[in-house]
Structure 1
Amino acid sequence: MGPAAREDTPLLGKERPLSSQFKTFANVFIAIVGAGVLGLRYAFKRTGWLMGVLTLFSVAALITHCMMLLVPIRRKLGAANIGSFGDLGFAVCGPLGRFLVDILIILSQAGFCVGYLIFIGTTLANLFNPTTTLTLSHVSPKSLYIWGCFPFQLGLNSVKTLTHLAPLSIFADVVDLGAMAVVIVEDVKIAVEQRPDVVAFGGMSVFFYGMGVAVYAFEGVGMVLPLESEMKDKEKFGKVLALSMGIIALLFGAFGVLGYMAFGDETMDIITANLGPGLVSSLVKLGLCINLFFTFPLMMNPVFEIVERRFWSGMYCVWLRWLLVLAVTLVALLVPNFADFLSLVGSSVCCALGFVLPALFHLMVFKDEIGWKQRTFNSGIVLLGLVLAVSGTWSSLSEIFNWN
């Protein structure tokens, strides 16, 4: 494979020292924990708390398995030429494989950013509680705040390298952890005091909806190969990944269950809508918005890399970045519901990235070396991913557009 076929991954850099097990654990944690967790409590309201927990842990186990399928594929094909998921797609299926991976990564990463803007716009609109819309321009408060983010995001997304954004990223993560801790404490207090009625199973009609949100919450397959490459003791990467995903699943499950147990049928799709008035509540809402605001350019960076590589010879292009930020903003203005959109992205794109492609690539590369059990299992994952993608996408679109 010539150098032109390789997709570089500047997020990690070529000269960095190899990572310890703890640093790899921390990197997995940062890569996975994002806006998806904010939609879990509403998903648990829809699915029931027990069905939600079972779905969440099933997705965590299956997606961890699929992530680990990528490592032996790279080792068999030649690790020196494969630094990313896109490289792997090229090595297995040629230009078509890379194109498919690139498209899905663009849709997933841009989808995350759309969710960020929806959350920010809705939360700020609720926080400052405007009583009227702008009658002259017919702009809703939510839309006004989303547009208010636009010029600042143009500036942040114009930064050439992620190194310059690292301090903002660290600040955003600290603020996010603090805000989430306060939310959990409030949930426990409210759940003990009010004890609202909750259900364990919401019925099979919402199963695919819950699957979509869970897959969205755990999506991070694109980070597996870069993180495995930079780990010092690569033989222990599987154990570190499994431990990381297990702990994250426990945190996600606790967050979703406690949120639903606190508010029951009153659980809103935006978690901040359930927080009452007061200084602490306002600070939590602002903290979550700040986190997502500064995470936006980090999530868009893979999109910029792919688009600039395909349309601008891999060189920095500010106007392409601005067009992409504008497109994400326009989509955010059109989507009414945060959690429904998470389910849509999780079902349509993340299922393909997290389930279908890893299992399919493994089947193609090891077709003559694996037994019938592994072949059947991988084929089942591909089929499950396709079924979830089709059914979950239809379920989420039905919710968004209120189809009957």
Structure 2
Amino acid sequence: MIHMHSPSLFLSFLVSDFDNKMDHDPKSNTTPLLSSKRATKLQTLGNIIVTVVGTGVLGLPFAFRIAGWVAGSIGVAIVGISTYYCMLLLVWCRDKLALEEPLVESRSYGDLGYRCFGALGRFVTELLLVVAQCAGSVAYLIFIGQNLDSVFQRNGPPITSYIFMLVPVEIGLSWIGSLSALAPFSIFADVCNVLAMGIVMKEDVRQTLDDGFPFSERTAITSNIGGLPFTAGMAVFCFEGFGMTLALENSMQDKSKFPKLLAQTFSGITLVYILFGLCGYIAFGEETRDIVTLNLPRTWSSLAVQVGLCLGLMFTFPIMLHPINEIIEGKLKSIRRNNNSDSTGLGKITIYISRAIVVIVLAVVASFVPEFGVYASLVGSTLCAMLSFVLPATFHLKLFGSSLRIWQKVLDYIVLITGLFFAVYGTYNSFVGV
């Protein structure tokens, strides 16, 4: 994810349950790289922003171009409200289990899946989380490839070449054992990202004024019905980090304030998303690219920001890989333990090979992705929709059952059915085009 936040807030995120990001089994013998501590209200605010805001924000102007600025604005608002509601569902489910079994803490998304549907529930939940994390890592590579291609234009190699040029570097960085060693590079990426947002907004305003504020020339609601689910998929992709909901709530000092804080934060993020998408589309119209930074003029400042973003993401890519490697290596340890009870650890060579394979596989996947916008919509329509809507509604119905009021059941079923339909139809539209 490309996170829109201040550098200091990134550090607060690193010390609050980062290693729970993939909701791994608490019985795992994996040792966390960083300690955790209770977060203040301000730190939790920063952690929510860090977790939720991602690469999708730079694709929102393109989504508004596909759906129209009115439909896009309404769509982002609906997705934001729905995501907030489903986050609360997870918290309510975990609170119910805590009351029933006060001596057993159920802190992860995967644990909740296990409590609801046993081993299969944990497997499905954690599988979706791992694949979603892989999808986010692939988004990094696509973003870097497309931006470098824009910077060098015809003087450079094709996009896939840029992606594979990164492989040796990313393999080496993935071998670094401490996440804290990578923190300075993430801070650098954050600074570049803030600058990119500022430059994009500045260019939006300049372009809009030069064109005479062309609202009437921009589509309000698309006539292509297939554009709506495509845009919804992009919007869902923007609200990533759903799997961190329980870790965020659990890390807060005063958990009773979490719902209100979450509502306030989501209101602000949703408003910023709408304004960013709206301004970008109004400024560039039908010329809006799937990554809006590609619309920037070729000035030294815009090119520097694009290169800076690519460098920052290159060095923070291993942070995205860490939860994936953690789970894979945990599984390898389990296999080794079952086959040889006298040796439960993994050798350095095995770890190096495993992490190198992960990088290579993700690079190969990224090389086959046609463009960022289509990919982001596909991920949002499938993985993010299942994690953000289908599973929380299912868990809530399963745990609370007959104790729910009629309107609560109806609302949960609406979320569940809509999420499933959206996953199927949105996926179809991503493949056939809009």
Partner of 1:177 in structure 2? Answer: 194
Q: Match of 1:129, SS?
A: helix
Q: 1:236 aligns with which of 257, 276, 280?
A: 257
2:274 partner letter: G
Aligned twin of 2:163: 146
Using the TM superposition, give the Cα deviation of residue 190 of structure 1 relative to its aligned residue in structure 2, in angstroms. Answer: 1.0
Q: In 2, distance between residues paired with 1:7 and 1:354?
A: 25
Give the Cα separation in 2 of the matches to 1:160 and 1:44: 41
User: 8 Å contact 1:55–1:211 — kept in the other structure?
Assistant: yes
Aligned mate of 1:99, from 123, 146, 153: 123
Q: Render the CA deviation track for 1:236-286: whole Å, top value 9, x for unaligned.
A: 001111111111111111111111111101111122221111101111211
> Which residue number corresponds to residue 96 of structure 2?
76
CA distance, structure 2, for counterparts of residue 279 and residue 6 of structure 1: 52
Partner residue of 2:209? 192
Task: State the match for 1:137 in structure 2.
Answer: none
Match of 1:291 among 302, 312, 330: 312
Q: Matches of 2:414 and 2:368 in 1, distance apart?
A: 36
Question: Secondary structure of 1:312's partner?
Answer: helix
**For structure 1, which runs of at least 5 residues remain unmatched after alignment?**
133-139
Structure 1 contact 9–83 (Cα < 8 Å) conserved? no
Identity %: 39
The amino acid that maps onto 1:187 is: D
Cα distance in structure 2, aligned partners of 1:88 and 1:216: 23
Kept in 1: contact 2:54–2:240 (CA 8 A): no
Q: Distance in 2 between matches of 1:242 and 1:211?
A: 20
1:158 aligns with 2:175: yes
CA contact (8 A) 1:9 1:226 kept: no
Q: What is the match of residue 86 of structure 2?
A: 66
**SS at structure 1 position matched to 2:402:** coil
Match of 1:394 in 2: 428
1:344 matched to 2:378? The reply is yes
Q: Could you tell me which amino acid in structure 2 is paired with residue 228 of structure 1?
A: E
Kindly indicate whether the alpha-carbon contact (under 8 Å) linking 1:8 and 1:84 is maintained by their aligned counterparts in 2. Answer: no
Aligned with residue 369 of structure 1, among 403, 412, 416: 403
SS in 2 for 1:19: coil
In structure 2, what is the equivalent of residue 39 of structure 1?
59
Q: Give the distance between the partners of 1:60 and 1:4, measured in 2 at CA.
A: 29
- Classify the secondary structure of the residue corresponding to 1:366: helix
* 1:251 equivalent among 272, 278, 296: 272
Aligned-pair distance for 1:205?
Answer: 2.3
d(CA) in 1 for partners of 2:83, 2:29:
24
Distance, in Å, in 2 between the alignment partners of 1:10 and 1:41 is: 42
Deviation digits for residues 2-44 of structure 1 (CA, Å, limit 9, x no counterpart): x97646997795x533111111010010111111111111111
Q: 1:128 to 1:103 in 2, by over 3 A?
A: same
Cα deviation, 1:281-302, whole Å, max 9, x if unaligned, reads 1112113223332332222222
1:85 aligned onto 2:120: no
Deviates more, 1:304-313 or 1:370-379: 304-313
2:50 matched to which residue of 1?
30
Q: Distance in 2 between matches of 1:163 and 1:5?
A: 22
Instruction: Name the CA distance, whole Å, in 2 between partners of 1:9 and 1:62.
Output: 34
* Distance across 1 between alignment mates of 2:32 and 2:267: 25
Instruction: Give me the whole-angstrom Cα distance separating, in 1, the residues matched to 2:25 and 2:82.
Output: 34
Distance change >3 Å, CA 120–CA 224, structure 1 → 2 = same
1:336-368 Cα distance to aligned partner (Å, 9 max, x none): 111000000000110000000011011111113
Counterpart amino acid of residue 394 in structure 1: Y
* Alpha-carbon separation, structure 2, partners of 1:182 and 1:391: 35
Give, in whole Å, the separation in 1 of the partners of 2:360 and 2:345.
Answer: 20
One-letter amino acid matched to 2:423: A
Alignment partners' CA distance in 1, 2:376 and 2:95: 33
Deviation per residue, 1:134-153 (Å, 9 max, x gap): xxxxxx52111111111111
1:86·1:102 contact (CA, 8 Å) conserved in 2? yes
Counterpart of 1:110 (choices 134, 145, 156) is 134
Worse overlay, 388-397 or 214-223:
214-223
Q: Which residue of 136, 152, 166 maps to 1:128?
A: 152
Assess, with a 3 A threshold, how the Cα gap between structure 1 residues 55 and 16 changes in structure 2: closer, same or farther: same
- Per-residue CA deviations over 1:202-240 (Å, capped at 9, x if unaligned) read 132211101100000002211111111110010000111
Tell me how far apart the structure 2 counterparts of residues 315 and 327 of structure 1 sit (CA, whole Å): 24
Secondary structure, counterpart of 2:82 in structure 1: helix
Distance 1:334 1:181, change over 3 A: same
Aligned residues: 390
Following the alignment from structure 1 to structure 2, what is the Cα–Cα distance between the partners of residues 376 and 127? 51
Give TM-score, length-normalised by structure 2: 0.85
* 2:243 aligned partner: 222
Structure-2 change in CA distance of 1:246 and 1:4 (3 Å) = closer
Residue 401 of structure 2 aligns to a residue whose secondary structure is coil
Q: Does 1:327 align with 2:361?
A: yes
Which letter does structure 2 place at the counterpart of 1:84? Answer: S
CA drift at 1:168: 1.8
Give the letter for the 1:397 counterpart. Answer: F
**Are 2:230 and 1:202 aligned?**
no
Between the aligned partners of 1:296 and 1:208, the Cα distance in structure 2 is 29
- Per the normalisation by structure 1, the TM-score is 0.91
What is the match of residue 135 of structure 1?
A: none
With 222-231 and 283-292 compared, the bigger mean Cα shift is at 283-292
Greater displacement, 315-324 / 103-112: 315-324
CA contact (8 A) 2:167 2:360 kept: yes
Change (3 A) 1:338 1:315: farther
Q: Give the distance between the partners of 1:11 and 1:311, measured in 2 at CA.
A: 17
Structure 2: 5+ residue runs without aligned partners? Answer: 1-23, 335-343
Which residue matches 1:56? 76
* Aligned-residue offset at 1:66: 0.3
Task: Confirm or deny: 8 A CA contact 1:112 1:299 kept in the other structure.
Answer: yes
Q: CA deviation at 1:158?
A: 1.8
